[in-house]
């Protein structure tokens, strides 16, 4: 059977990595991206053992010249992308607007919003040429609700949801699906990154309840990606059973 091709941004950890694992066992060749080149190479070795091929692209999604150079380096045969998972993203800090670090705002906006757009433009053009494809964007419960001290992270995820809605309308005439998945708390490196490497603070976020796992989200992404051609899941909100709103647990 001919293999499909998926491009996953932010595949060095968490949801992106687990999504790569599931797709590798479901007949996909994979283009995996991230800044940590060594991790990408280790993951390539792991995943190629299940029979598919992996192309690693090492770049920072915030830097348009790096994104463009990386995408231009993709050989023609690999540009027939069936599935794009715009996953690379982060929260930086947990502070009120009045005192937050402007550099944190810039990192979140540049990664979660501008980076997603830099990738989506060339890949959606390749999909338009093929008149088929599926783009799954990682939004969040933070793209549906806002919580105190998370204004800019929530703003970026609201932007991901809005951009996705518009893209869905733009791309439907080209037989291209656009979906968002909006998870609640998933225990990955997310909180470690948000708290800038403070392991104790990161662990505290998930104390006292069972958060989602990256595998839970990857399985759901695979469900979305494996629907028949005439079915699109526009938007999917997935929460830990113990978390009924964005404000249900404490991030500090």
For ligand 8X3, the binding residues (CB under 6 A) are 140-142, 150, 153, 184-185, 246, 251
The distance of closest approach from Cβ of residue 247 to ligand NDP in the complex, given in angstroms and rounded to an integer, is 14
State yes or no: residue 162 binds ligand NDP (CB under 6 A): no
12 binds, among ligand NDP, ligand 8X3, none (CB under 5 to 8 A by kind): ligand NDP
State yes or no: residue 15 binds ligand NDP (CB under 6 A): yes
Query: Token digits for 97?
Result: 């607007």
Q: Which of 7, 24, 47, 88 binds ligand NDP (CB under 6 A)?
A: 88
Measured from each CB, the residue nearest to ligand 8X3 is 140
* Binding mask of the shown chain, residues 20 to 59, with x at each position contacting ligand NDP by CB under 6 A: --------------xxx-----------------------
* C-alpha separations of 76 from 70, 72, 130, 201 in Å: 13, 9, 13, 45
Q: Which is nearer to ligand 8X3, 94 or 171 (CB)?
A: 94
Q: How many residues does the chain have?
A: 252
The distance of closest approach from Cβ of residue 150 to ligand 8X3 in the complex, given in angstroms and rounded to an integer, is 6
What distance, in Å, lies between the first and last C-alpha atoms of the chain?
Answer: 49
* Size, binding site for ligand NDP by CB under 6 A: 28
Count CB-CB contacts under 10 A for residue 51.
11
Q: Which is nearer to ligand NDP, 6 or 214 (CB)?
A: 214
Catalytic annotation present for 147 = no
Cα 245 to Cα 184: distance, rounded to the nearest angstrom: 8
Strands (E), the chain: 4-8, 28-34, 54-58, 83-86, 133-138, 176-183, 186-187, 212-213, 235-238
Q: Which of 19, 87, 179, 220 binds ligand NDP (CB under 6 A)?
A: 87
State yes or no: residue 137 binds ligand NDP (CB under 6 A): no
* C-alpha separations of 190 from 13, 89, 90, 141, 154 in Å: 9, 9, 6, 14, 14
Torsion of CA 108, 116, 189, 196, to 10 degrees: -20
The distance of closest approach from Cβ of residue 175 to ligand NDP in the complex, given in angstroms and rounded to an integer, is 26
93 binds, among ligand 8X3, ligand NDP, none (CB under 5 to 8 A by kind): none
Cα 37 to Cα 193: distance, rounded to the nearest angstrom: 18
State yes or no: residue 179 binds ligand NDP (CB under 6 A): no
Q: Which is nearer to ligand 8X3, 128 or 238 (CB)?
A: 238
- Could you tell me which residues come within 8 angstroms of residue 122 by beta carbon, excluding any fewer than 6 positions away? 68, 71
Query: What are the residue numbers of the active site?
Result: 153
Which stretches of the chain bind ligand NDP, using CB under 6 A? 10-16, 34-36, 60-62, 87-90, 111, 138, 140, 183, 185-186, 188-190, 193, 214
């Amino acid at each position: 059977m001919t293999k499909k091709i998926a491009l996953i941004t932010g595949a060095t950890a968490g949801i992106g990595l687990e999504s790569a694992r599931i797709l590798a066992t479901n007949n996909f060749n994979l283009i995996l991206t991230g800044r940590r080149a060594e991790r990408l190479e280790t993951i390539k070795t792991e995943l190629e053992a299940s029979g598919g091929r992996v192309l690693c692209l090492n770049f920072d999604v915030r830097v348009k010249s790096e994104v463009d150079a990386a995408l231009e380096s993709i050989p023609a045969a690999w540009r027939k992308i069936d599935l794009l998972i715009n996953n690379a993203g982060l929260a930086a800090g947990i502070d009120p607007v009045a005192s937050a670090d402007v550099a944190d705002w810039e990192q979140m906006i540049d990664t979660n919003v501008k980076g997603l757009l830099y990738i989506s433009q060339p890949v959606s053009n390749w999909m338009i040429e093929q008149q088929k494809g599926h783009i799954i964007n990682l939004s969040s419960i933070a793209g549906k609700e806002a919580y105190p001290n998370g204004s800019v992270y929530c703003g970026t995820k609201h932007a991901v949801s809005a951009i996705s809605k518009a893209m869905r309308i733009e791309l439907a005439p080209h037989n291209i699906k656009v979906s968002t998945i909006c998870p609640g708390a998933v225990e990955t490196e997310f909180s470690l990154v948000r708290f800038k490497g403070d392991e104790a603070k990161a662990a505290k976020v998930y104390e006292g309840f069972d958060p989602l796992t990256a595998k839970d989200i990857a399985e759901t992404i695979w469900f979305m990606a494996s629907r028949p051609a005439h079915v699109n899941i526009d938007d999917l909100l997935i929460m830990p059973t113990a978390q009924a709103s964005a404000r249900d647990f404490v991030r500090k």
